[in-house]
Amino acid sequence: MELDSNTYRRRSWAEPWKIKMVEHVKMTTYEERKKALVEAGFNTFLLRSGDVYIDLLTDSGTNAMSDRQWAGLMLGDEAYAGSENYYHLEDAIQKYYGYKYLVPTHQGRGAENIISRILIKQGDIVPGNMYFTTTRLHQELSGGTFKDIIIDEAHDPESEYPFKGNVDLAKLDALVDEYGANRISYVSIATTVNMAGGQPISLANLRELRAYCLQHGIRIIHDMTRVAENAWFIKQREEGYADKSVAEIVKEICSLTDGATMSAKKDALVNIGGFLAVNDYDIFEEARNLVVVYEGLHTYGGMSGRDMEAVAIGIEESVQDDHIRSRVGQVEYLGNRLLAHDIPIVKPVGSHGVFLDAKKFLPHVPQISFPAQALAAAIYLDSGIRTMERGIVSAGRDKLTGDHYYPKLELVRLTIPRRVYTQAHMDVVVESILEVFDQRNRVLGLKMVYEPKYLRFFQARFESLG
């Protein structure tokens, strides 16, 4: 008998793994949640995780590691210098991403700090496909000014454009005209674009960008935090890639850039870790020198040997088609269920989470009353599900005028940790969002009563307006 079973035609996205160990979570009462929320100043970052039932705050460092990764921890070579695990990690980065040189860091922002210090001069411009909080802050602290060159569709939650992470080359060209190519430190390209809702960039767009940058002598630095997830969307949506593997597409993406910062806490399936990877030896030399100032010796950065081993194994697991298919499939499942109930979310559903459109969800709450922050608080109060604000609080203030940035996107991110929650958990999330939607008129917004200077969303405190 012959069956053509090599395609996924009718198969669901079910997980290519089974559960070996479980962690109990606390089911709280409404009164317990109310108390916890007030104590946390209506900021989900300030909740104790013991008071959380389903934790969708972030996909960062919240991954479940595989048995192979846990076994890898036992192979940690904790030598101060020249750990074997550093070389395993270097091999994995060269093999799966194709970058030549590795500088390990404790997480993504450690790498952002180093590359910003090396490549950005006072007064420089750093164009990118939408800002990311820590990335932009490091660019600014090094004297640069971030400029958004993402396509307009990315700022429209309703637009179904398949590659909302694409760069608008006309916007980049206008910056080159205005400031000159020598004042552009590099183009900062994220795969996928977190703040746009986990939206991918296409290879066609990246190739065009590469050609433009080569012509003008501008580097591309790749925030590759979710590169495998971006590759999956390319495989699904971009002509000519259906038969390529995620691993092949990942390598092609990386080959169009000069270097990368990585928060391994996402795609690479670990709980801590990151790195800077570059192709230029001189930049590597400088980075290797700076890393000892800010992170640790150049063969461990901020990581222990066992952490580096887990990242090396995680990288290999992260580029497997079956893994990514189920990872993104679970996010799509949640998004599609919410869409079926007409809940306003960013479309198309992104890679690492579902993003609620708080402006549409709570049209009666003005942006200055922090609708996304208030919505995240209301969801926690309803069910103990923790989500994250990605709107005016996250956007922070203009470094020159001191005014709030008023981003077009005012979102609540339901971020799905990798390999952690089940489909039944996703169903509970849907039930809670529907409940809050039914009662949305009771959510009146917040007042900020404490505002930290840097990355205020992490520690700001609020009071309820009613």
Ligand X SMILES: Cc1ncc(COP(=O)(O)O)c(C=O)c1O
- Residues that bind ligand X in the complex, under the rule CB under 6 A: 60, 107-109, 132, 134-135, 190, 194, 223, 225, 263, 265, 274
Alpha-carbon distance of 306 to 423, in angstroms, equals: 31
* DSSP line for 81-104: SS-HHHHHHHHHIIIII--SEEEE
Three-state DSSP class for 333? helix
Q: Give me the least distance between CB of 30 and ligand X, in Å please.
A: 31
Q: Least Å distance between CB 313 and ligand X? A: 18
| Min separation Cβ 107 and ligand X, Å | 3
Closest to 225 measured CA to CA, from 175, 275, 295: 275
| C-alpha 238, offset from chain centre | 21
Give the C-alpha distances (Å, rounded to integers) separating 5 from 1, 2, 124, 241, 328.
Answer: 12, 9, 54, 20, 22
Interior angle at CA 170, CA 205 and CA 242, nearest 5: 10
Smallest distance from the beta carbon of 194 to ligand X, in angstroms?
4
Plot region of 3 (φ>0 → left; ψ -120 to 50 → alpha; else → beta): beta
Closer residue to ligand X in complex, CB, 168/223: 223
Q: Cβ closer to ligand X: 69 or 134? A: 134
Q: Tell me the CA distances in angstroms from 1 to 4, 5, 6, 10, 457, one per residue in order.
A: 10, 12, 15, 20, 60
Nearest-approach distance from CB 254 to ligand X, in angstroms: 16
133 is catalytic: yes
Whether 80 is catalytic? yes
Taking the complex as a whole, how short is the minimal distance between the CB of residue 151 and ligand X, in angstroms?
Answer: 18
Q: How far apart are the first and last CA of the chain?
A: 68
Please list, in sequence order, all residues whose beta carbon lies within 8 angstroms of the beta carbon of residue 177, skipping any fewer than 6 positions away: none
190 or 218: whose CB is closer to ligand X? 190
Give the residues across from 148 on adjacent strands. Answer: 128
The C-alpha atoms of residue 426 and residue 226 are separated, in whole angstroms, by 21
Q: How far is the CB of 336 from ligand X (least distance, A)?
A: 23
Q: Residue 208 and residue 428: Cα distance in Å, rounded? A: 43
We find the least distance from the C-beta atom of residue 223 to ligand X, in angstroms, to be 5
Integer Cα distance of 49 and 150 in angstroms: 35
Establish whether 179 is a catalytic residue.
Answer: no
Nearer to ligand X, 274 or 445 (CB): 274
Residue 457 falls in the annotated catalytic set: yes
The C-alpha angle with vertex 420 and arms to 415 and 424, in degrees rounded to 5, equals 85
Look at the block and give the residue holding tokens 């402006």.
359
Contact 424, 410 (CB under 8 A): no
Q: Which helix (H) or strand (E) holds 10?
A: none
Query: Could you list the active site residues?
Result: 80, 132-133, 223, 266, 390, 457
